[in-house]
Amino acid sequence: MQDSAVPAAPPTPPVSLAALLSRDDLGLRQIAGPPAADVTIHWAHTSEMSDPYPYLLGGELLLTAGVHIPEAAGPETFDFDGYVARIVAAGGAALGFGVAPVHDTVPQGLVAACEAYGLPLVEVEPRTTFSGVARAVWQLMAQARLAELRRITEAQQGLAAAASRPDPVPSVLRRLAARLEGRAVLYGPEGAEIAAAGRDPGDAVRRALAELARFVTGHASSTATDTAAGTRLAAYALGTGRGFVLGVAAPHRDAGDHAVASIAAVLLSLLTGEHPSGTGAARTSALVRLLLGARREEVAPLLGGGEGDGDITRWHVVHARPHTGAADGVSASALGAALGSPLVDAAEDVVRVLVPAGPRSGAGAAPARPAAQPGWTIGVSAPVAPAEWPVADGQAARALARAGATRAPVVRHAERPAFADLVPAGEAEAHARALLAPIDAVPALTETLRAWLSLHGGWDRTAVALSVHRNTVRQRIARCAALLGADLDDPDVRMELWFALRHLPG
């Protein structure tokens, strides 16, 4: 069992000796030792020392031209076994012998010693320089590093997506087990297996993994590794302070596997950690009460953060559309955070946010309002009580349409008392129904007339707001004028129609 210590091999990904031998530009040839596919190299080093042991770190392809080996040397004139044994003892991965300028062929004594000690021996032909071999090793390592980073990035994205599912913990374990082609287990504070995913490694491996998980809970190290029945084991203590441990069993351990498992451990730490506040529970309670028939003003205090006016909390409804592409969950949440509210609804191409009205800056001053946000076009409602949230939703939608047409970063619904407030709502609605009856049966006409009047008769801006051609706008406005029998160039007529459109239900 091994806890987290300084690794014996460098942190760079190794390359296969077989990949180096496959380079046609080098002309390398293996003449002794185990198969190249089973040998990995961490770097290349050149030495003509008769004993290179003190200068090796392990994992090297040691390159030599045999300057220290006499010409036509045999076992009686040079200790080939001692030379190779020292390289193997230092952890050398392979030996590359350059033919010329000292030796015309690789000494047979060196071939026999490498075969005896299981050290791969590679012949380097005269045209190939040692610096060229070293450069090829670095190039292969760079390619391996790039592939490793790409694999880690893909794993991170997959694990993050799994963490956002309705069953996040099992989903993360399943994704991790699939990535590592093994088994992933979440252990509880008492060492019990809470959830698991992936192939069953057998009783012996399961017991060893559980023991490794108990080991990290009782030691200062947060990670530990071991091997059981040829299976690589690893345990990660989750940073929740609650005794949870992630255990991983895999048939192999590729470069980057530790990073992938560490990402999963971080996500599981967040999923299993205790939340310091009851905000999330309060919002869940508010949703349940709404579904069971409670009034909006009754559940609004559970959402928190509003500007109080007596017992009434006031809110803004914000509609937002991104400048490029469609909004996803991440960008919508980021917008909500910037506006100071987690109450976000990312639906289709518009993000809606319920934002508490900010505190008043002074006596009698209006509360702070949501500000413009880079990369977004925003429409903001007036501050309203919870009972008026549906009204504010319509205000924000109209403000967003106006912001898009005028290319303004943010448009706010007007808050000051209007002339229309002098007319009782019932009378205003009756007047609107009567005046607009000729076009009320065609929603496209009322919608176009509303947008056209709000944009002061601008054909192009109305076309942009409605996402139609400007000729379509002209045709619809002409149809409205004919059905209503009204001169739409008359400002009094426009004012009366605007008044009616504002009070027309729906």
Q: Which tens digit of pLDDT belongs to each residue from 415-471?
A: 554 555 556 667 778 888 889 999 988 989 999 999 999 888 999 999 998 999 999
Q: How confident is the model at residue 164 (pLDDT cuts 50, 70, 90)?
A: confident
Between the alpha carbon of residue 469 and those of residues 372, 401, 403, 445, 460, the distances in Å are 29, 16, 19, 14, 8
H-helix or E-strand spanning residue 346: strand 344-347
Q: How confident is the model at residue 308 (pLDDT cuts 50, 70, 90)?
A: very low
Three-state DSSP class for residue 169: helix
Preceding omega of 424 cis (within 30 degrees of 0): no
Segment 241-263 mean pLDDT: 83
CA distance 341 to 337: 6
Segment 256-279 mean pLDDT: 75
Residue 279: what pLDDT?
Answer: 59
CA distance 211 to 205: 10
Q: How many CA atoms lie within 13 A of 352 on its CB side?
A: 16
Beta bridge partners of 64: 97
pLDDT digits (tens, 9 = 90+) for 43-59: 899 999 999 999 999 99
| Most trustworthy range by pLDDT among 119-128, 154-163, 169-178, 494-503 | 119-128
327 CB-near residues (< 8 Å, 6+ apart): 320, 321, 335, 346, 349, 350, 351
pLDDT digits (tens, 9 = 90+) for 218-229: 665 678 889 988
H-helix or E-strand spanning residue 342: none
Could you list the beta-strand ranges (E) of 256-343: 307-309, 312-322
Burial class (CB in 10 A: 0-12, 13-18, 19+), 449: buried
Residue 391, token pair as written in the block:
């009204």
- CB neighbours of residue 403 within 10 Å: 24
Which of 97-106, 112-121, 231-240, 367-376 comes out lowest in average pLDDT?
367-376
**pLDDT over threshold 70, residue 397:** yes
How many degrees, rounded to 5, is the angle at CA 143 between CA 139 and CA 149?
140
CA distance 72 to 482: 111
Rg from Cα positions in the chain: 37
Burial class (CB in 10 A: 0-12, 13-18, 19+), 216: buried
Residue 484, token pair as written in the block:
């209503």
Which of 134-138, 296-300, 387-391 comes out lowest in average pLDDT?
296-300
Long-range contacts of 357-366, Cβ-Cβ distance < 8 Å, separation of 24 or more: 357/306, 357/307, 357/314, 357/315, 357/316, 357/383, 358/307, 359/307, 360/307, 366/415
Q: How confident is the model at residue 9 (pLDDT cuts 50, 70, 90)?
A: very low
**pLDDT over threshold 70, residue 400:** yes
Closest-CA residue to 286 (of 274, 271, 304): 304
**pLDDT over threshold 50, residue 119:** yes
Residue 464, token pair as written in the block:
């942009």
CA distance 205 to 232: 9
Across the chain, what does the average pLDDT equal? 83
CA distance 189 to 265: 15
**pLDDT over threshold 90, residue 112:** yes
